[in-house]
Chains A and B, each alone.
Chain A
Amino acid sequence: MMRTLMVGVASLVFGAAAAVAQEEHAKVRLISETKALMPGKTAWLALHFEIDDKWHLYWNGINDSGFAPRLNPEFPEGYKAGEFLWPAPKRYVQPGDILDHIYENHVTLMFPVEVPGSVAPGERVEFKASPEWLVCHDVCLPGGADVKLTLPVVDQDEGAPASDDAGLFAKARLRLPKPLPKDNVPVVINVAEGKVSIQAVGAAELAYYPGLNGVVYPSLIKEGQRKGDKLVLSFRKGTDGASRLKGVLEVKPQEPGEPMLWQLDVDLESVNKATPGPSDTDTRSRGD
């Protein structure tokens, strides 16, 4: 009780001093990778969230609860925000077989903006957005903010130098899944009897994060992560007939080092049909 009371008092003092009248647990900024825009070029902007210890935000794949952040941009005429590039999340299991995929500590949600070729160097462009999110610990709080960012337009010859936040973009890219290469495919996918096996030879541990608009995984809470180089996931078609394995595979190597993150998008109905022979013949998945 004493502790709670002190927290309350501290919050009030802080609230008064900083005129922050809300409990936040996640702070957001609208950031740019470069200090300026160039006519006709793609600029990379992002929502960067700093998340309080023990609290989390949500990935936009399949979750049992929560809500993935929305940008809600109000950009000037001619500027359109592309989709977020979602970094690979972390699995989060709660009592009652509740499986979510989350971000902790911080997350940078990058998105491209095409700069019109018609803008003139010297102009200043103001980007505004009203992002909303849900931040949760044992409890959930909806969050929202009005953010803005003003960037000058410079000549292409002049070039746009990296901003102070460029490091955050570089860090975010390390957690972005890559499409599977066409050759020397590092992941082998097989389908048999309502199960898909996903193998990355030599891996120490695998985790699968289910994306939207694919098949349904009834037992992902048990099957979605395991030691070794092979995951076997039960699946069935979506009620709309979706038959694709759509999601992200995280491959932890046996040696110390960064995990690999693969974007999987494979039609499970076509797996094992491309090659003649028994149904359990290895079929190399294509990174389409």
Chain B
Amino acid sequence: MMTLKSRRILGLIAGMAMMGVAAPSLMAQADAPRGKTPAASQPEKDHKDKDAKPQKDARESNKDGNGTVTIGQTAPAFELKDTEGKTVKLSDFAGKVVVLEWFNPECPYVVKHHGEHKTMVNTYAKYKDKGVVWLAINSGAPGKQGAGLELNAQHKKDWKMEYPILLDESGKVGKAYGSKNTPTMFIIDASGKLAYMGAIDNDNSAKKLGSINYVDQALGQILAKETVSSPVTKAYGCSVKYGGS
């Protein structure tokens, strides 16, 4: 399986200086919220999300999905608030191609694709004028790494994200999609069906970019009405910081 083999691809990584985990972030421990420390807790925001409808558990029979959702099925509906307090529903975008990006601004893999490289915003920029909608979703529970309205709003600004970040603090939308990593990517086609799920690219290093941007590849194919050549890949990254034990 390509997804498994991709884990074996060894890459020489130049300059292993750790990403911003230098003295400034140690200082940031003292004023908690931005620090990359396990103790960093976010103030809980009153930002209740509407429940997503959980899909039936298709684990046993699913050959073309991630164990929860399947390529070709109707994407689970959701309604969440973004960092500006605006309610966003998947059904708002009926008839459009929608990209979902599972997000946690403090996850090193998200930092790789936003802070160090501009993978996400560049891919969005390439397709936004072709009617593609892009939504970031943060399923981190209150108090967990990367959760919280202000922190996400700040990163949206810092990273020049022109698309909304939706807060899914209950984790219901993340679980309905079977999203386990940040970033995990989904593409929903214009008929509302799942057309791609998995990784953004093919290198699971926290530093190095892959040679194939799967989302770019799949969006190009979907818009050209071609078959998506790699509809399922193995997502990589941090675990989604769901609540619960």
- Which residues of A are at the interface with B, using a C-beta cutoff of 8 A? 1, 3-5, 7-9, 11-12, 15, 21-23, 60, 62, 64-68, 70, 72, 94-98, 100, 130-132, 134, 136-146, 212-213, 216, 218-219, 234, 236, 238-240, 242
On B, residues with C-beta under 8 Å from A are 1-5, 7-8, 10-13, 16-19, 21-23, 25-27, 29-30, 32, 36-40, 59-60, 62-64, 67, 106-108, 139, 141, 144-145, 171, 174-175, 180-181, 204-207, 232, 236-245
A65 CA to B237 CA in the complex, in Å?
6
Contact of A15 among B18, B26, B204, B237 (CB under 8 A): B26
B4 touches A62 (CB 8 A): yes
A140-B107 in contact (CB<8A): yes
Assuming the contacts A130-B13, A138-B144, A240-B1, asked whether A95 and B242 have C-beta atoms less than 8 A apart, the reply is: yes
Cβ contact of A142, chosen from B11, B171, B207, B243, cutoff 8 A: B207
CB distance from B57 to the nearest CB of A (A): 10
Is A67 within 8 A of B242, CB to CB?
Answer: no
Asked if A4 contacts B29 (CB within 8 A), the reply is yes
Give the number of residue pairs across the A-B interface with Cβ within 8 Å: 158
Asked if A236 contacts B63 (CB within 8 A), the reply is: yes
- B175 lies within 8 A of A213 (CB): no
Q: Is the interface of B mostly helix, strand, loop or mixed?
A: loop
Please judge, given known A-B contacts A95-B242, A98-B240, whether A70 and B10 are in contact too, CB under 8 Å. yes
Contact of A96 with B240 in the complex, beta carbons under 8 Å? yes
From A142, which residue of chain B is reached at the shortest CB distance? B206
Q: Say whether A132 contacts B175, CB under 8 Å.
A: no
Known contacts: A67-B205, A212-B4. The answer to whether A94 contacts B242 by CB under 8 A is yes
Query: Which chain A residues border B18 with CB–CB below 8 Å?
Result: 22, 141-144
Q: How far is the CA of A136 from the CA of B18 in the complex (A)?
A: 14
Q: Closest CB-CB distance, A4 to chain B, in whole Å?
A: 5
In the complex the two chains form, what is the Cα distance from A63 to B204 in whole Å? 12
Q: Closest B-chain residue to A5, C-beta based?
A: B30
